[in-house]
Structure 1
Amino acid sequence: MDITRFHAAFFEESRENLDAMEAGLLAMESGSADGETINVVFRAAHSIKGGAATFGFTAISELTHQLETLLDEARSGRRQLDADAIGALLVSGDALRGLLAAAEHGDAIDTEGLKRAHDGLAKMMGREVAATTKAASKEPEIAEWRIGFKPAPSLFLSGNDPLRILRELAGHGELGVTALDNTLPKFSELDPYEAYIAWDLMLPGSVPRSAIDDAFAWVEDQCELAIEGIPATSAIAPPPAPVDSDNVVALDTRANSDARKATTADAGDTSIRVAVNKVDALINLVGELVITQAMLRQRSTQLDPVANELLLSGLELLDRNTRDLQEAVMGVRMLPVEFAFSRFPRMVRDLAARLDKKVRLRTSGEATELDKGVIEKIVDPLVHLVRNSIDHGLESPADRRAAGKDETGTISLNAQHQGGHIVIEITDDGRGLDRERILRKAAERGLPIGDNPTDAQVWDLVFHPGFSTAEQLTDLSGRGVGMDVVKKNIAALGGQVEIRSKKGTGTTVSIRLPLTLAILDGMTVAVGGEVFILPLNSVIESLQPAAGDIRTIAGEARVLRVREDYLPLVDLAAQYGLSGAQPGTHARNGIAVVVEADGQRLSLEVDELLGQQQVVVKNLEANYRRVQGISGATILGDGRVALIVDVGGLVQAQRMPQAA
Structure 2
Amino acid sequence: MDISEFYDTFFEEAEELLGDMEAHLLDLNVDDPDVEQLNAIFRAAHSIKGGAGTFGFEALLRTTHLLENLLDHARRGRIALRRDIVDTFLEAKDMLNDQLDAYRQGTEPDPEALERICETLRKMALEELGEETGDDAPVTAVPVATAEPEPPALPGGGVRVALLGVDEKDRQLLIEELGQLGEIVFQSGDADRFEVTLNTSVSATDIEAVMCFIAEPEQLDIQAVAASEPAAAPTEPVVPAPAAPDAAPEKAAPAAKPKAAASGESSSIRVPVTKVDQIINLVGELIITQSMLNQVAEGGQGKHSTDSSGQDNGSAALVTGLNLLQRNARDLQEAVMSIRMVPMDYVFSRFPRLVRDLAAKLGKEVELVTEGKSTELDKSLTERIIDPLTHLVRNSLDHGIETPAIRQAAGKSGTGTLTLSAQHQGGNILIEVSDDGAGLDRAKILAKARANGLSVSDSMSDDDVWQLVFAPGFSTAEQVSDVSGRGVGMDVVKRNIQTMGGHVEILSRPGEGTVTRIVLPLTLAILDGMSIKVGAEVFIVPVSAVIESLQPRREDLYPMAGGDVLLKVREDYLPVVAVHHALDVDDAVTEPPRCIAVIVQGEGRRYALMVDELVGQQQVVVKNLETNYRKVPGISAATILGDGSVALILDIVDMHRLSQSKKERQREQHNVATRRRPEALIPPALIKEVEH
Aligned partner letter, 1:514: P
2:352 aligned residue: 345
Distance change >3 Å, CA 639–CA 200, structure 1 → 2: closer
| Structure 1 Cα separation of the partners of residues 175 and 378 of structure 2 | 43
Distance 1:202 1:47, change over 3 A: closer
Give the Cα–Cα distance (whole angstroms) in 2 for the partners of residues 559 and 223 of structure 1.
Answer: 68
1:165-564 to 2 correspondence within 5 Å?
Answer: 175-176=184-185, 275=268, 306-307=311-312, 308-442=315-449, 444-445=451-452, 447=454, 453-478=460-485, 482-545=489-552, 549=557, 551=559, 559-562=565-568
Q: TM-score, normalised by structure 1?
A: 0.72
Q: Would the alpha carbon gap of residues 161 and 328 (structure 1) be closer, same or farther in structure 2, given more than 3 Å must change?
A: farther
Q: Provide Cα deviations, 1:536-558, integer angstroms capped at 9, x if missing partner.
A: 3334554444568475966xx55
Task: For residue 438 of structure 1, report the CA deviation from its aligned partner.
Answer: 3.2
Aligned-residue offset at 1:608: 0.5
**Closer, same or farther: CA 343–511 of 1 in aligned 2, 3 Å:** same
Give identity over the alignment, percent. Answer: 50
Instruction: Show CA shifts across 1:237-262 (max 9, x none).
Output: xxxxxxxxxxxxxxxxxxxxxxxxxx
What is the aligned partner in structure 2 of residue 11 from structure 1? 11
Q: Matched residues in 2 for 1:72 and 1:512: separation?
A: 45
* CA displacement, residues 491-542 of structure 1 (integer Å, 9 cap, x when unaligned): 2222232222222222222222221111212221111122110123334554
For 2:590, the aligned partner's letter is: T
Instruction: Give the corresponding residue for 1:649.
Output: 654
Deviation string for 1:150-199 (max 9, x for gaps)? 9769979xxx976776699x7xxx742799xxxxxxxxxxxxxxxxxxx9
Q: Distance in 2 between matches of 1:200 and 1:471?
A: 61
Q: Is contact 2:377-2:523 (8 Å) kept?
A: yes
- Partner of residue 299, structure 1: none
Q: How far 1:382 moved relative to its partner?
A: 0.7
Q: Is the 8 A contact 1:590 1:606 kept in 2?
A: yes
Output the CA distance in 2 between the equivalents of 1:305 and 1:576: 52
Asked if 1 retains the 8 angstrom alpha-carbon contact of 2:638 and 2:649, the reply is yes
Residue 369 of structure 1 deviates from its aligned partner by: 0.8
User: How far apart are residue 460 of structure 1 and its match?
Assistant: 3.2
Alignment-derived partner of residue 591 in structure 1: 596
Q: 1:498 to 1:344 in 2, by over 3 A?
A: same
Contact map agreement 1:495 1:514 (CA 8 A) in 2: yes
1:322 Cα deviation from its structure 2 partner: 2.2
> Alpha-carbon deviations, 1:446-480, whole Å to 9, x = none?
65557755543443333333333333343322598
Letter in 2 for 1:53: G
Q: Which residue of 1 aligns with 2:261?
A: none
Amino acid at match of 2:103: A
Q: Which runs of 5+ in 1 are unaligned?
A: 180-198, 205-211, 226-272, 297-302
Structure 1 position 568, deviation (Å) = 6.4
- Unmatched 5+ stretches in structure 2: 133-138, 153-159, 189-193, 200-206, 221-265, 273-277, 294-305, 669-692
- Equivalence for 1:618: 623
The residue correspondences of 1:621-636 to structure 2 (distance < 5 A) are 621-636=626-641
Normalised by the length of structure 2, the TM-score is: 0.69
| 1:345 Cα offset (Å) | 0.9
Greater CA radius of gyration, 1 or 2? Answer: 2
Output the CA distance in 1 between the equivalents of 2:500 and 2:169.
47
- The C-alpha deviation readout for 1:567-590, integer Å capped at 9, x for no partner, is 765543455455x446x7253532
SS in 1 for 2:416: strand
**Deviations 1:92-134, CA, capped at 9 Å, x for gaps:** 111111111212213453334323311221121011123999x
Tell me if 1:123 matches 2:123: yes
Q: Could you tell me how far apart the structure 2 residues matched to 1:30 and 1:384 are?
A: 30
Q: Which residue of 1 aligns with 2:52?
A: 52
Aligned AA (1:335):
V
* Counterpart mapping for 1:24-103 below 5 A: 24-29=24-29, 34-103=34-103
Deviations 1:264-309 (A, max 9, x none): xxxxxxxxx9847999xx99x99xx9xx99xx9xxxxxx9994333
Once the two structures are TM-superposed, the CA of residue 75 in structure 1 deviates from its matched residue by: 2.0
Give SS of 1:469's match: coil
Shift of 1:67: 0.6
Distance 1:493 1:143, change over 3 A: same
Separation of aligned partners in 1, 2:114 and 2:601: 50
Distance 1:78 1:216, change over 3 A: farther
* Contact 2:43–2:219 (Cα < 8 Å) also in 1: no
**Matches of 2:454 and 2:605 in 1, distance apart?**
14
Report SS of the residue matched to 1:143.
Answer: coil
Change (3 A) 1:471 1:523: same
In 1, Cα distance between equivalents of 2:267 and 2:443: 54
Partners of 1:178 and 1:116 lie apart in 2 by 38
- Name the SS of the counterpart of 2:150 in structure 1: strand
Q: Residue 366 of structure 1: SS of its match in structure 2?
A: coil
Shift of 1:71: 0.7
CA distance in 2, matches of 1:200, 1:18: 26
Aligned AA for 2:617?
Q
Cα pair distance change 1:590/1:364, threshold 3 Å: closer
Matched residue pairs, number? 560
Cα separation, 2, equivalents of 1:219 and 1:31: 35
Letter in 2 for 1:614: Q
The alpha carbon displacement at 1:77 in A equals 2.3
Distance 1:399 1:55 in 2: 53
What is the distance in 1 between the residues matched to 2:121 and 2:511?
Answer: 43
Q: 1:512 to 1:627 in 2, by over 3 A?
A: closer
Q: In the alignment, which residue of structure 2 is the partner of 1:236?
A: none
C-alpha distance in 2, partners of 1:377/1:21? Answer: 24
Cα offset, 1:63, TM superposition: 0.8
**327-336 or 75-84, larger mean C-alpha shift:** 75-84
SS in 1 for 2:35: coil
AA aligned to 1:85 is I
